[in-house]
Structure 1
């Protein structure tokens, strides 16, 4: 009898519980992202998110932490598109971009990646940046982090173009980086797609054309 009990304990499968937790976390991310975009940072409480996501406030704090950490986690998951801890730079689209040797093809890949990222997290990023600039103390650090992350991505991409010898005459790496940093900003996406009604496809085509024209020397 004792042996049977121990065997059952060893063979316990917790995968269902893990799947349930992951599903709840994804539901929280979806709900929190929507509420933050609709209401703004200051007007969205942890209790609001818990109620809308149908989870308890204690569970939410345990899984995500206090509001600033919750919001940053929501942003990170939206940017990645899943809960997988694999860094963005190590994912297949970015690996393919890093291996691309044709600068024109690299720009197209980058535009595709940028559209994919900003379509998921751009509206939330715009809200968080606005909140940070408005002086909400607990979100200022997150807004600063978002800006640094975008600058890092722009720098990595322009460094790659420079290594390929593809930058337009008279354009240095710092100038190219600042152009990319501006064009991929969530504010630009918000203006064109959310305010002016562009489709994501139109945005991606515009971004590819703009990056090509601004960065690359003629073929």
Structure 2
């Protein structure tokens, strides 16, 4: 579903990713584990086309997307949950969730929204509230819901548990377990295995922009 082939990427002339090779098989949940500043967010932004690599290839669902624009990912049903949530504060929760559907003219938005609310009924409960009225953990749930609107094949989650209270962390983990059971392909970044150890099928460790597979025991 997702493959990095010898990816190098720089920001303002500073090398960030160094010859990264990474493979996420369809229907699996894979972790990208590393400390802050190791290159996790840069990796996910490169998948999304928000940062163009200086060399190498980004393959999504068999298609070379290396030089394609970020908006082209929508047609491949890729969803992205950034670490800082990036909700529109003055829009309601439901409007934030529907933004990808409006922007990309997703045809089945009504049934997709109903599925998201079934998955996360607490989000439906505050769907009429403005995003700025939510706690940080609630905003994480909304950001996940928005990513799921377009991410029916591949989901990218950047530090989903970061800064979230323990109760909401457990709830997020429960939702991710359900998504895994439904066969969604997920690439999840985290600083350690605190929340994701029993979720992941495989993992990669990233350090100073270099990635190595983590041996599974």
**TM-score normalised by structure 2 residue count:** 0.27
**TM-score normalised by structure 1 residue count:** 0.27
Q: Between Structure 1 and Structure 2, which shows a larger proportion of strand residues?
A: 2
Larger Rg: 1
Q: Between Structure 1 and Structure 2, which shows a larger proportion of helix residues?
A: 1
